[in-house]
Amino acid sequence: DVDPLTGLLNRRGLQRAVVEMGATGRASSKSSYVVAIVDVDSFKIVNDSHGHEEGDLVLRQIADRLRWCGSENALFARFGGDEFVLVDTIDVGAAPAFEDSLRRHLRIDDRDPAVTTSVGVAITSAEWSSIISDEELTDLFRVADASMYRAKAAGGDQVVMWDGKQ
């Protein structure tokens, strides 16, 4: 259930943990569920020009930085290749701070070239209950993934948020 390179959950581990999260309902009436999907921009260039060891280092750095963006109860996963997922709860109204945290932490400027990410985020609307269903979680993943592709299509190096109102 754990990715050996980054120490994060792998896809199977995340699926199991998400089922548990939905069953236990960690969100309070003053918080919302959030799913962020992160894709490293132009990762193939890192591997091709600097080698796979350097690519592995970048993946570990992104994994470490992603941990800075979530709470102590957050789920972090390497979903495959250069794609990462964060599942958490945030306080209602904290979306701008969460977006800023992703933007600041998931860019590595001290590399040549800088490593950037495209991030898609989906947040449950405030009226959702504290117990989240599998269907609702699946919808959040679908919307976060679509938002990540919108970030990539817009040139990358950005966060695209969906909060249930767009």
Q: Residue 5 has which token pair?
A: 């390179």
Mean pLDDT of 25-50: 83
Mean pLDDT of 25-37: 76
- C-alpha separations of 72 from 67, 68, 90, 154, 155 in Å: 9, 10, 11, 32, 32
In this prediction the pTM is 0.90
Could you give the percent of the chain with pLDDT greater than 90?
Answer: 61
Condensed to tens digits (0 to 9), the pLDDT of residues 75-108 reads 999 998 999 999 998 887 899 999 999 999 999 9
How many whole angstroms from its chain centre is CA 98? 11
CATH number of 11-162: 3.30.70.270
